[in-house]
Amino acid sequence: MDHSTPKSLADRLLAARRDRTRLALDTPPPASFAESYETQRLVTEALGHDVKAWKIGLAPDGTVFAGPMYTTKDRVLHAAPTGFIAAEVEYAIRLTKDLPQHEINRAEVLELVGEVLLGFEFVETRFIEVPSLLLHMADNVANGGYATGPILSRAELDLPQRRIVIKADGHTLFDGPATHPNGDVLAPLMAYAKASADPAKRDQLGGIRAGHLVTLGSLCGGVAVPHACDLVAEMPGVGRFDLRFER
């Protein structure tokens, strides 16, 4: 199989961001996790971002991966004219201490938690569709932006019965219970701390540090947003986001 070097793939991802275009799914992937993380670093440095927010994914087979997020206070979100766009309502935490690079249990994770917040992720891949894992990782795990809502009780991390409603121009795209794909919303963070013991399986942007925001995964799956619209994403009784998508 052919592979992209981190530099060549970073250049292509940067061009896709700049020109608002999409890359083909047959783009050669990086050769390893380490090269995906190196690509993230090159893109982030070229864009001039000081990373203070992260997303972590934990696949059903136990594979865990992380990507930097570029947070925004702008409620108008801009996407490329074509390609997959999704909305996700999530819980996020702000850490009071650095995330260890070794195995930790749930109680130890809770000791790191400062604030718990409601979060909204704008998911936008730089590819025509969501690509293979190593390309997905290199592309900041398809993060297009992130907005935070109200500070919540720490009890929300036990995932009480909640409902999520997402509407586009008043039409319901999603209305259902909040669920997490890993059951425990803290499972991805525990898995990433354990994986980080291996330098080849950790990010190359300095790690997840005190003061950083970490989103804990979608509570509604990836809700496709098919067109430019006024978007409302709400967890009734907890918080609401009023946003504008433009393509």
Say what the pLDDT of residue 82 is. 73
Say what the pLDDT of residue 75 is. 79
CA 195, CA 56: separation in Å to the nearest integer?
12
Task: Show pLDDT as tens, one digit a residue, over the chain (247 residues).
Answer: 799 999 999 999 999 999 999 999 999 999 999 999 999 999 999 999 999 999 999 998 999 999 999 876 777 877 777 778 899 999 999 999 999 999 999 999 999 999 999 999 999 999 998 899 999 999 999 998 898 999 999 999 999 999 999 999 999 999 999 999 999 999 999 999 999 999 999 999 999 999 999 999 999 999 999 888 999 999 999 999 999 988 8
Which residues touch 195 (CB under 8 Å, ≥6 apart)? Answer: 64, 201, 202
Residue 49, Cα to own-chain centre: how many angstroms? 16
Is the pTM here over 0.95, yes or no? Answer: no
Domains of the chain: 6-246 (3.90.850.10)
Q: In angstroms, how far is the first alpha carbon of the chain from the final one?
A: 34
